[in-house]
Structure 1
Amino acid sequence: MEPQFYVYILASRMNGTLYTGFTGDLLRRVWEHRNHVVPGFTDAHNVTRLVHYEVFGDYDLAARREFLLKRWRRVWKVRLIEAENPGWRDLYEDIADPRAQIPSYNAL
């Protein structure tokens, strides 16, 4: 199986504080945010809701995408989230389901 890398956006609530991250293990990393395992921004601001994620087969593409998203204006991030998740539903339960397949994101 080809390695996968993830760029994700967490929110504290609908239209709340946003955090953009990058990881090789989305399930583990979001669990860490949700359980406040690592002190920092997401812990201090209770940013635990997975509202958007993208999957890449290439480390460099994923890292570049995270770099770009971190520099996006907030309104652009909100549009990105709402394009596929208008209710800002927490997607963690979808990926935590062992039967769920995480789709691959190939467009940049």
Structure 2
Amino acid sequence: MREKEIIKYQDVAFRVVFQSFEPALSITEREGALFLSFSSILVSDNEHWYEVPLKEISSIDIDEGGLKPKMSFKFENGTLEVTGNDRASALALRHFLLPLIGRHDALCES
């Protein structure tokens, strides 16, 4: 991963699903943290890092059906599923990111 300024948003559980494989390949849900940078979202379990550039995200959905909200960041080849701690944080993050996703002129191209 390239060196860049990132900020930890919150501790989360996450799962990455790659749909470019048949059947879809899923990484087992892991405990870790969600991070933000100027041009991407990142998750880490302190051993591995997964990065999705904002310009590649096509949608952000929130499922509030469980005890904790689950956010789904959809991109061309898969989905990043993040289970956060509270509804307000998930909604705030979604509203913050919506104007930035899918833009090829994202804030800071790396």
TM-score (norm 1): 0.25
Instruction: Considering fraction of residues, name the structure with more helix.
Output: 1
Instruction: Considering fraction of residues, name the structure with more strand.
Output: 2
Identify the structure with bigger relative contact order (alpha carbons < 8 Å, sequence gap 6+).
1
TM-score (norm 2): 0.25
